[in-house]
């Protein structure tokens, strides 16, 4: 009996305590999170994204078709203008060059012979025969002259004079024939033909040398080889792209600014670039050119803003997708609050400030803002301002402050 009474009393006490706690909890001021007004330097930025491009660049192309025989550089390497990048196979050209040079030697030898009047053996024989014929002519002329004088003295017959004259005329005919034969050794058609063969061979040498020269593809510009993917044995046609080279100490970043933010962007504004592939790194530069038109980028309407960025280590590569922050304004040593504490009620912009245990509505004037904070006027440093809460706040409301 006494045990049942004790249990009943304990149960009634527990129920009473629960009821008291429920009433107390219901009447307890709600918990509200607060942040402090701080003094700092704030920067207003336009965050966006963009793509890296070289400011000065050039492409290296092949001038003739052929298989790649040598790779002389590597991707990412810095090269000077004129540096050899690859070599195409030249075995066919070298054979053509040797054959053409041999034809030049032959043609020049023929011309040398022609310049000397013909082939040496034939020319020597004709010269010997001419000398002999001239001697015979001289002898025949002396005999003829002698016989003519003797005939006048009746010391020689007419027949002897006639025979001497015939011998003289035969010698003259032989000399003319030999001279004609010697002249026939070097005829104009022979020289023209030899000269034509020489010119053809020289043209073939020049063509082979030019094709050999075109077998080496060289850098058209000094800079970094940022696009280069060839392997030995690859076959290239004339005009095919071999490599792309750019000067990457300074690069251009084309950033895409949403149309509502374009009014805040102007030339020479500072820009900070980050790249997800290299966290913690930053590249600095400035706006170079603002857009002249609005274009569609997916679901966005954007202007293409061109920025010049310093890239001293050449590690910001063309084609890279990057993040960009364009600093449009800055203020040093001003009071700032988190953007989320700002409220708009009754046509006013203001915040709830903690005064003791109550919140007080206070209209404020806002200045420049960053991504997360905004400049504020009308507050004191260190003041507590209410963060967003699920329970609506009212001026004069008692709260339990919490500082995350």
In order of 12, 49, 220, the CA distances from 87 in angstroms are 100, 40, 15
- The pLDDT score that the predictor gives to residue 111 is 75
Tokens, residue 390? 């699920």
- Whole-number average pLDDT of the chain: 87
Instruction: Give me the domains of the chain, ranges plus CATH numbers.
Output: 29-43+333-402 (2.40.420.20), 44-55+248-329 (2.40.30.170), 57-89+215-243 (2.40.50.100), 95-210 (1.20.120)
Q: Write out the H or E segment, with its range, that includes residue 249.
A: strand 241-258
Q: Give the tens place of pLDDT for each residue, 299-325.
A: 999 999 999 999 999 989 899 999 999
- The pLDDT score that the predictor gives to residue 8 is 63
- The pLDDT score that the predictor gives to residue 145 is 87
Residues in a beta bridge with 260? none
Q: How confident is the model at residue 25 (pLDDT cuts 50, 70, 90)?
A: very low
8 A C-beta contact, residue 83 and residue 262: no
Q: Tell me how long the chain is.
A: 404
What would the mean pLDDT of 192-218 be, rounded to a whole number? 89
What would the mean pLDDT of 222-226 be, rounded to a whole number? 92
Residues 6 or more apart whose Cβ sits within 8 Å of residue 141: 168
Whole-model pTM: value is 0.58
Please report where in the chains the tokens 């903690």 appear, as a residue.
354
Q: Give the tens place of pLDDT for each residue, 360-382.
A: 999 999 999 888 899 999 999 99
- The pLDDT score that the predictor gives to residue 188 is 56
Q: Give the tens place of pLDDT for each residue, 257-313.
A: 999 999 999 999 999 999 999 999 999 999 999 999 999 988 999 999 999 999 999
Q: Give the tens place of pLDDT for each residue, 126-145.
A: 778 888 888 888 888 888 88
Q: How confident is the model at residue 24 (pLDDT cuts 50, 70, 90)?
A: very low
Distance separating alpha carbons of residues 385 and 33, to the nearest angstrom? 8
- The pLDDT score that the predictor gives to residue 194 is 78
Residues 6 or more apart whose Cβ sits within 8 Å of residue 386: 32, 33, 34, 341, 351, 352, 353, 354, 359, 393, 399
Q: Give the tens place of pLDDT for each residue, 87-141.
A: 999 998 898 889 889 888 888 887 776 666 555 556 667 778 888 888 888 888 8
Given a cut of 70, whether residue 329 has pLDDT beyond it is: yes
CA atoms within 13 A on the CB side of 291: 20
What would the mean pLDDT of 59-73 be, rounded to a whole number? 95
């Amino acid at each position: 009996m006494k045990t049942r009474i004790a249990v009943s009393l304990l149960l009634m006490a527990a129920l009473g305590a629960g009821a008291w706690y429920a009433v107390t909890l219901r009447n307890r001021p709600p918990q509200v999170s607060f942040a402090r007004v701080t003094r700092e330097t704030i920067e207003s930025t336009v965050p966006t994204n963009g793509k890296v491009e070289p400011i000065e660049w050039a492409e290296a192309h092949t001038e003739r078709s052929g298989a790649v025989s040598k790779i002389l550089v590597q991707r990412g390497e810095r090269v000077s203008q004129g540096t050899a990048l690859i070599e195409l196979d030249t075995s066919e050209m070298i054979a053509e060059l040797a054959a053409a040079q041999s034809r030049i030697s032959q043609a020049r030898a023929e011309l040398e012979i022609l310049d000397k009047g013909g082939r040496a053996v034939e020319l020597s024989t004709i010269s010997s025969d001419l000398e002999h014929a001239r001697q015979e002519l001289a002898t025949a002329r002396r005999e003829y002259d002698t016989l003519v004088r003797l005939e006048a003295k009746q010391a020689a017959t007419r027949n002897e004079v006639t025979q001497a004259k015939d011998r003289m005329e035969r010698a003259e005919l032989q000399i003319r024939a030999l001279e004609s034969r010697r002249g026939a050794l070097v005829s104009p058609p022979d020289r023209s033909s030899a000269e034509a063969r020489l010119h053809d061979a020289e043209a073939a040498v020049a063509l082979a040398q030019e094709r050999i020269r075109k077998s080496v593809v060289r850098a058209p510009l000094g800079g970094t080889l940022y696009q280069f993917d060839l392997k030995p044995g690859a076959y290239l046609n004339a005009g095919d792209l071999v490599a792309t080279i750019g000067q990457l100490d300074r690069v251009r970043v084309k950033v895409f600014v949403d149309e509502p933010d374009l009014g805040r962007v102007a030339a020479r504004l500072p820009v900070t670039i980050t790249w997800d592939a290299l966290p913690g790194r930053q590249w600095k530069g400035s706006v170079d050119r603002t857009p002249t038109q609005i274009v569609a980028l997916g679901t966005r309407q954007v202007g293409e803003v061109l920025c010049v960025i310093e890239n001293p280590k050449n590690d910001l590569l063309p084609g890279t997708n990057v993040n960009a922050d364009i600093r449009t304004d800055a203020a040093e040593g001003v009071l700032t609050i988190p953007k989320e504490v700002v409220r708009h009620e009754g046509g006013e912009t203001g915040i709830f400030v903690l005064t003791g245990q109550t919140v007080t509505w206070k209209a404020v004037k806002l200045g420049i803002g960053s991504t997360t904070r905004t400049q504020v006027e009308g507050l004191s440093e260190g003041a507590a301002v209410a963060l967003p809460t699920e329970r609506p706040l009212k001026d004069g409301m008692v709260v339990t402050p919490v500082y995350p």
